[in-house]
């Protein structure tokens, strides 16, 4: 069946993901290959001390992304997109979206990027003996209680961005287990929220002056492959105001970008892991056994099937690096040139490979926001060098590529060196890896582990979400890990790069200087304002 016929017959599957800077939809065919994409670029806003996206932004982004997908389908194949075989919705994990019983948002959407819940996170971690990071939904809820925010008493439903969109499309208040594990801890044995911790939280809620019951306000937990509802008439119009999309399409459980990254890289089996590298960076490693200790640098979340995963999450990724590339673009524009974006990134990234292994006395911090792993509640992008540094373009670019990975390395060193966790291979995905071999070699050096990058690495989360939707339709009772290995990635292991010992040594030296100089970054964040 050709792609035009496939789409016309409603056999294509769509995954749509709300990323930090881009909302992207991917259509896949019956062989799991991307056949059309749609996209919408957006940016978060810093409003009243909160990193957020407004509901208006969210709704417009969803519709414009889908409209772009429809246009691309028509441009490529000359057909209309009127029906789909299945839909999957994913988004940035964590965050805080509280609603009242009328379906009204009670407070601005607080994204994963916020570091405003330290008091709550510390108290919850101590009470649960389980690390609760600041960006988790439960930390935001408890902090709102501690702050005596007036909206808390009216909460009837608390969800994430992916859960909200799924609710609007289907009327179902559910979450995939991987996404749910970033709201509240999961008990692997029952594949649901940890009941003992829920009881503890309810008691803490009473102590803070509230009578909320978590069981009544959190979304229902579903595992990959389960039915999560169908697209309603209202949901179809919400997604496609033109009225061309038919209702009745089944939806799989909505997931977070952590879960879709695991799927997109075939990293849901034990001893596998992946690194998502874009606006934020995070590494996820599927555990063979529980960690020996509680580490505030590491989250414990789950795969879309519910297996425990150690996650090192960094709020800051390539934003500062992109800013420097744009500065070079501005220089070229001042000369009257109009550089191609891909060529410019490729030129500068490849130049970094010529640099000294330890960056020759150059050091960069990519902190647009705070970082829990390094104990900073706010950040300032910063570049510093020694007076006798080997100050070259190659070292400059290498230092900023290293900076994008340094906080992640600090977190993962705990996982690999202190906890002794074993990983056979890490898979990289996201924009950081689009320039062949560069980001991949840097990550291999940072993690001291083999790194694979697949051809679909640039498609990332939305493609992974489409795979989860397809798995719901065609899994046939197979384990997700088997489905991925046998059906999706049977002939695609990707290009594997082993760590270069000299690169590993150089990165270790760089990170040693990075950690020693962190107090300067903290002072810049505290004192440098305009």
| Residues 212, 106 share a domain | yes
| Residues 134, 120 share a domain | yes
- The band of 521, judged by pLDDT with boundaries at 50, 70 and 90, is very high
- The band of 495, judged by pLDDT with boundaries at 50, 70 and 90, is confident
Looking at residue 491, its pLDDT comes to 75
For residues 33 and 233, what is the distance between their CA atoms, to the nearest angstrom? 29
Residue 476 has pLDDT above 60, yes or no: yes
- The band of 115, judged by pLDDT with boundaries at 50, 70 and 90, is confident
Whether residue 251 is contained in a domain is answered as yes
| Residues 231, 200 share a domain | yes
| Residues 132, 24 share a domain | yes
Residue 526 has pLDDT above 70, yes or no: yes
Residue 315 has pLDDT above 90, yes or no: no
| Residues 221, 97 share a domain | yes
| Residues 98, 118 share a domain | yes
Whether residue 384 is contained in a domain is answered as yes
| Residues 378, 419 share a domain | no
Q: Write the pLDDT tens digit of every residue in 10-23.
A: 999 999 999 988 99
Q: What percent of the chain has pLDDT over 90?
A: 84
Residue 100 has pLDDT above 80, yes or no: yes
- Residue for token digits 């760089």? 510
Q: Write the pLDDT tens digit of every residue in 296-305.
A: 889 999 999 9
Looking at residue 128, its pLDDT comes to 97
- The band of 160, judged by pLDDT with boundaries at 50, 70 and 90, is very high
- The band of 384, judged by pLDDT with boundaries at 50, 70 and 90, is very high
227: left (phi over 0), alpha (psi -120 to 50) or beta: beta
| Residues 287, 198 share a domain | no
With 0-12 / 13-18 / 19 or more C-beta atoms within 10 angstroms meaning exposed / middle / buried, residue 420 is exposed
| Residues 271, 231 share a domain | no
Whether residue 506 is contained in a domain is answered as yes
Whether residue 348 is contained in a domain is answered as yes
For residues 410 and 41, what is the distance between their CA atoms, to the nearest angstrom? 31
Residues spanned by the domain of 231: 3-255
Looking at residue 101, its pLDDT comes to 96
Q: Which of 216, 236, 255 is the last residue of a domain?
A: 255
| Residues 439, 453 share a domain | yes
Whether residue 491 is contained in a domain is answered as yes
Which CATH number characterizes residue 188's domain? Answer: 3.30.420.40
- The band of 381, judged by pLDDT with boundaries at 50, 70 and 90, is very high
Other Cβ atoms less than 10 A from the Cβ of 220: the count is 14
Whether residue 260 is contained in a domain is answered as no
Cα–Cα nearest to 179, from 341, 27, 299:
299
| Residues 384, 327 share a domain | yes
Q: Considering its fold, how many domains does the chain have in total?
A: 3
Residue 457 has pLDDT above 70, yes or no: no
State mean pLDDT over 159-183.
98
Residue 441 has pLDDT above 60, yes or no: yes
Residue 458 has pLDDT above 70, yes or no: no
State mean pLDDT over 40-56.
95
| Residues 434, 359 share a domain | no
Residue 88 has φ and ψ, to the nearest 5°, of -135, 135
3-state secondary structure of 365: strand
Q: Write the pLDDT tens digit of every residue in 339-372.
A: 999 999 999 999 999 999 999 999 999 999 889 8
Residue 231 has pLDDT above 90, yes or no: yes
């Amino acid at each position: 069946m050709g792609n035009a016929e496939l789409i016309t017959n409603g056999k294509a599957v769509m995954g749509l993901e709300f990323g930090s800077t881009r909302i992207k939809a991917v259509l896949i065919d019956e062989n799991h290959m991307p056949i059309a994409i749609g996209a919408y670029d957006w940016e978060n806003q810093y409003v009243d001390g909160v990193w957020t996206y407004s509901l208006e932004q969210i709704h417009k982004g969803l519709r414009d992304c889908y409209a772009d997908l429809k246009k691309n389908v028509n441009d490529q194949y000359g057909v209309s997109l009127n029906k789909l075989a299945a839909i999957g919705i994913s988004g940035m994990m964590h965050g805080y979206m509280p609603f009242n019983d009328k379906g009204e948002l009670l407070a601005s959407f607080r994204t994963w990027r916020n570091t405003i819940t330290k008091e709550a996170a510390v108290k919850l971690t101590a009470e649960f003996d389980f690390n609760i990071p600041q960006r988790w939904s439960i930390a935001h809820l408890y902090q709102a209680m501690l702050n005596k925010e007036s909206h808390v008493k009216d909460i009837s439903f608390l969800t994430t961005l992916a859960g909200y969109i799924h609710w609007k499309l289907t009327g179902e208040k559910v979450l995939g287990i991987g996404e749910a594990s970033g709201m509240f801890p999961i008990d692997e044995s029952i594949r649901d929220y940890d009941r003992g911790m829920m009881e503890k939280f309810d008691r803490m809620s009473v102590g803070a002056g509230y009578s909320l019951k978590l069981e009544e306000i959190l979304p229902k937990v579903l595992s990959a492959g389960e039915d999560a509802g169908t697209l309603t008439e209202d949901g179809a119009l919400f997604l496609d105001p033109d009225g061309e999309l038919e209702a009745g399409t089944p939806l799989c459980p909505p997931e977070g970008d952590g879960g879709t990254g695991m799927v997109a890289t075939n990293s849901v089996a034990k001893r596998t892991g992946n690194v998502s590298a874009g606006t934020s960076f995070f590494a996820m490693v599927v555990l063979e056994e529980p960690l020996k200790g509680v580490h505030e640098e590491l989250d414990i979340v789950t795969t879309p099937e519910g297996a425990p995963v150690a996650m090192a999450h960094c709020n800051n990724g390539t934003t500062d690096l992109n800013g420097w590339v744009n500065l070079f673009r501005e220089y070229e524009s001042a000369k009257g040139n109009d550089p191609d974006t891909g060529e410019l990134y490729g030129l500068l990234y490849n130049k970094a490979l010529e640099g000294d292994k330890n960056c020759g006395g150059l050091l960069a911090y990519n902190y647009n926001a705070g970082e829990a792993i390094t104990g900073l509640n706010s950040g300032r992008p910063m570049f510093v060098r020694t007076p006798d540094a080997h100050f070259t373009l190659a070292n400059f670019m290498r230092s900023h590529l290293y900076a994008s990975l340094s906080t992640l390395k600090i977190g993962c060193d705990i996982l690999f060196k202190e906890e002794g966790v074993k990983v056979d291979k890490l898979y990289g995905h996201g924009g950081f890896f689009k320039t062949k071999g560069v980001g991949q070699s840097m990550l291999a050096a940072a993690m001291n582990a083999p790194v694979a990058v697949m051809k679909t690495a640039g498609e990332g989360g939305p493609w992974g979400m489409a795979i989860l939707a397809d798995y719901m339709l065609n899994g046939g009772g197979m384990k997700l890990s088997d489905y991925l290995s046998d059906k999706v990635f049977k002939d695609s292991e990707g290009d594997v790069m082993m760590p270069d010992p000299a690169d590993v040594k150089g990165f270790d030296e760089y990170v040693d200087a990075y950690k020693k100089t962190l107090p300067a970054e903290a002072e810049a964040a505290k004192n440098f304002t305009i």
